[in-house]
Structure 1
């Protein structure tokens, strides 16, 4: 019985690890998209100001 308990706890640990990793990756992706969006906005504003001049 203890062997089964340890196996199930290992599976639960692995699942929680995968879940936390996926949520971390999702957060990272959102952060990157935010940074990329702000950089693109800056590039657009620079191009607009150059085209006006």
Structure 2
């Protein structure tokens, strides 16, 4: 039982770190997608205003 406790603690820490990294990568992907969409929308609005003038 004494041998299993550090292994369990390491596994719990590893699972926590893995879930944190997964959530961080998901948030980063969402931010990147929204940033790309906002960038594309801004370019389209800029082209539209240039062509209207």
CA RMSD, 1 decimal: 1.1
Q: Deviations over 1:7-49 (max 9, x none)?
A: 1110110000000111111111111111100001112223333
Name the counterpart of 2:47: 43
Q: Where in structure 1 do 4 or more consecutive aligned residues deviate above 3 Å?
A: none
Gaps of 5+ in 2: none
- Equivalent residue runs for 1:10-49 within 5 Å: 10-49=14-53
TM-score normalised according to structure 1 size: 0.79
**Size of the alignment, in residue pairs?**
49
TM-score normalised according to structure 2 size: 0.79
Gaps of 5+ in 1: none
